[in-house]
Amino acid sequence: MIPRYSLPEMAALFTDEARFGLWLEVEVLATEAWASLGVVPEAHAKAVRERAPVTDATFVEAVAAREAVTDHDLAAFVDVVQQAIGPPASSWVHYGLTSSDVVDTALSATLTQAADLLVQASTQLIAALKRRALEFRDTPMAGRTHGMHAEPTTFGMKLALYCLQADRDRQRVQRARDAVAVGKLSGAVGTYSNIDPAVERHVCEALGLTPTPATQVIARDRHAEYLWACAAVGATVEQIATEIRHLQRTEVGEAQEPFRPGQKGSSAMPHKRNPITCERLAGLARILRGNLGAGLEDVALWHERDISHSSVERVILPDSSLLAYYLLTKLRTVIDGLVVNPDRMLENLDRSLGLVFSQPVLLALVTSGLSRDDAYRVVQDDAATAWAERRPFRAVLEEDPRVPLAAAALDDAFSLPRALRNTGPVFEALGEVTTE
């Protein structure tokens, strides 16, 4: 991922230094496990631990130079490690293992750490959404279906529903973490033909992973689940960002993403305050969805393994982790600093001349004795008249002899508090969302 969208704490997990560091830890732990079984001399296992090289930039360069000869990155890595440790202890490095035992187990450890960061970022976004949902719990605005005024809602309810969705994303990430928090050191086709299962258990326990049955590789449906969780995060972020973009339009003006001092919205038009952050987030979510498709294609490998998945994963797993983390973090800053205009929300609600109350009028007419279809036609006709003549909907109803409703009944139908009186269950559900 390009630096522009890479935040340091997540990026640090996917450096060559970090990757080789985990590979090395798997190798060292395996050697120590063999020693506990009496296969490797204790002194040699101790020497492997003590002489293990630091996986710094110099080490990375050495592996790259060796790979130019071997054309195999794990084999090159083992060669460089063995050279640093020296004989006779070095002979026990990679004993009984196949490349994927090291690579897949280390990758699982990396993705587990990445998922932890995603859960943390999700929690921070959820906290921001919950706080602002409660802040605007009773702030009325027009609810829109098909982009048109429908019935009244509140801005707090809108944010509360987003918060509940973000919480479901957090749960998905946690489940994906559990799915990838597995390791395998079971040999070339997963039969433990040249390795004791106790070695696998020892390494996985030390890395916080659970041993799992496998072929040569850990099944890629697990990685696809992780990519799905990242894509789901992106979809939610895009949904919220798209709503903010709509609300920021000049004709709407109900909310606006933060605009920093010194920021410029346009190089040509000084008056512009464009929703550039939300547009950026909506665009990046597309990459997450594309990566999911590639991850699903990685599930079907030939026989006990081919490596068609390997090149793909080197791109999509770091990129999806980085992007999901970036999207969560940036949207949280948007929500924290979101500028909300309650007066404009109420003004826009009034622009429909009371048409947002058409359903309670319909129900009142049904209650008064009209058939539903007759009542519907009356309300539909009067609504069309009100809109065409730019007159208050209630006034048109009061002039219509087909409407047998007293003033009290119309008062109730056109009551904004009545329309919003039952939002409690949404906020009860919001109250159950944890922010720690």
| Burial group, residue 372, by CB count within 10 angstroms (0-12, 13-18, 19+) | exposed
User: Residues 177, 230: one domain?
Assistant: yes
Tens of pLDDT, residues 281-323: 999 999 999 999 999 999 999 999 999 999 999 999 999 999 9
Largest CA distance in the chain: 103
CATH number at residue 354: 1.10.40.30
pTM, entire model? 0.95
User: Residues 38, 67: one domain?
Assistant: yes
119: in domain: yes
6: in domain: yes
User: Residues 279, 393: one domain?
Assistant: no
User: Residues 240, 324: one domain?
Assistant: yes
| Domain final residue pick, 49, 67, 95 | 95
Does the pLDDT value for residue 268 go beyond 90? no
Tens of pLDDT, residues 207-249: 999 999 999 999 999 999 999 999 999 999 999 999 999 999 9
Reply yes or no on whether 100 is catalytic: no
358: in domain: yes
pLDDT band at 273 (very low <50, low <70, confident <90, very high): confident
- Candidates 6, 44, 72, 146; catalytic one: 146
Determine the distance from the C-alpha atom of residue 265 to the mean position of all C-alpha atoms in its chain, rounded to a whole number.
28
Question: What average pLDDT does range 153-172 have in this prediction?
Answer: 98
| Domain final residue pick, 328, 345, 362 | 345
Residue-level pLDDT at 71: 96
- 83/330 Cα distance (integer angstroms): 45
User: Residues 22, 113: one domain?
Assistant: no
202: in domain: no
At 253, give phi and psi (nearest 5°).
65, 30
201: in domain: no
31: in domain: yes
Tens of pLDDT, residues 61-83: 999 999 999 999 999 999 999 99
pLDDT band at 1 (very low <50, low <70, confident <90, very high): confident
User: Residues 163, 301: one domain?
Assistant: yes
User: Residues 278, 161: one domain?
Assistant: yes
| Residues forming a β-bridge with 140 | 154
Q: What is the DSSP string of 308-339?
A: HHHHHHHHHHHHHHHHHHHHHHHHHHHHHH-E
CATH number at residue 147: 1.20.200.10
Residue-level pLDDT at 375: 97
Does the pLDDT value for residue 5 go beyond 90? yes
User: Residues 359, 414: one domain?
Assistant: yes
249: in domain: yes
User: Residues 283, 409: one domain?
Assistant: no
User: Residues 156, 291: one domain?
Assistant: yes
CATH number at residue 91: 1.10.275.10
**Number of folded domains that form the chain:** 3
Does the pLDDT value for residue 129 go beyond 90? yes
Reply yes or no on whether 266 is catalytic: yes
Does the pLDDT value for residue 325 go beyond 90? yes
Listed in sequence order, the residues at least 6 apart from 203 whose beta carbon sits closer than 8 Å to its beta carbon are: 26, 29, 30, 33, 105, 183, 185, 209
Residue-level pLDDT at 436: 86
Q: Which residues form the domain of 33?
A: 1-95
Average model confidence (pLDDT) for the chain?
Answer: 97
Tens of pLDDT, residues 78-88: 999 999 999 99
pLDDT band at 266 (very low <50, low <70, confident <90, very high): confident
- Candidates 44, 91, 149, 266; catalytic one: 266
User: Residues 282, 400: one domain?
Assistant: no
Tens of pLDDT, residues 188-203: 999 999 999 999 999 9
User: Residues 129, 106: one domain?
Assistant: yes
Q: Where are the alpha helices (DSSP H) in 86-220?
A: 99-135, 155-180, 197-207
Residue-level pLDDT at 259: 86
Residue-level pLDDT at 260: 85
Tens of pLDDT, residues 337-346: 999 999 999 9
Question: What average pLDDT does range 402-431 have in this prediction?
Answer: 96
| Burial group, residue 366, by CB count within 10 angstroms (0-12, 13-18, 19+) | middle
| Domain final residue pick, 70, 95, 120 | 95
Listed in sequence order, the residues at least 6 apart from 232 whose beta carbon sits closer than 8 Å to its beta carbon are: 169, 172
205: in domain: no
